[in-house]
Structure 1
């Protein structure tokens, strides 16, 4: 599930256990095709269920009062998109590419919460997401553009199998910019610089090959 390198860091095994339980529920999930840039749900919509990415990718975002877009997360195959116990969605979810999404009715999840094991698994994912959010706040608050992008690439690369160095990143440069709090021009400029410096290669617009992980890690840590 994490091979694409852009998903949250929640344990894949924990998420898989959750969906094993869901598959045996009285009201199993229903798959739906969500086209590229189509909205899965809007901020303020009632939370009527939970969603899992079967294929493709989804971004969570919110429009700021000044019209700018802030992306808070990306989700890839196998990921539970969001855990919300409130009555309304706090973010809008959009498909990055044509995606197949499984929707689980909220009563299905609520019924399973009586199982302590299932509840702990959801709590594990929720806590992991919270830690990731705190980490991202530190990245946006203190790091330079190069350090932010290096952190994004290093974090993604760490989720790849050891034998694989090419990451598939289905999101656009604009998506990456809105995730890291940068402009599209800055993202493109820094990626080009990393390529010139031999840190990465760009086989195509949605792939990155890591060439010098050690130097990227030093940049990510602010040591370069």
Structure 2
């Protein structure tokens, strides 16, 4: 069966992952992805056959022998669940996988060059948003593409004096008032009203009914938050 971490986005081909798992007759297969800074993650060195040698959590630079990290997608055999205790928090990465290695079970790594991003911070979320808008990963926006790179939901009103610069998404039932500028890599979700003269770039705006005039929003994620925090005089 497959297990996924809930805070990643990936274009991984699961069919290839499962095929690899079966070919290796593995007990557990861990998807691996290369990163530029391995010190921020858990490293997973493998041998020439793909078998996992050990786990190294957030290593120092002098400990690094690979740039492959655990990408948070696994194929596991059902009997693995017998090692998972009931009724308590339990880490696959820090507890289950090291136990499998200590028991001599077949734990393999599946190196992948598919798109992968950890969404653990708002900055990384915005990066994923930009990558999706740049079509680096397939995504169905479920809105009409009014112009190249501009997706607009139904019942959304955009004042003729406002300017939209792709790629961007504006959801349903939104109101974009006068002289608004929405720049690239921005997403405005349903039922949001943008006040006169507001400038938005590389931001995610959601569940906000009204924005005061003359705001400048850059690299932000806003959800039901006091607007005065983001007013730049």
> TM-score w.r.t. structure 1 length?
0.26
More strand by share: 2
Larger relative contact order (C-alpha < 8 A, sep ≥ 6)? 1
> TM-score w.r.t. structure 2 length?
0.25
**Structure of larger gyration radius:** 2
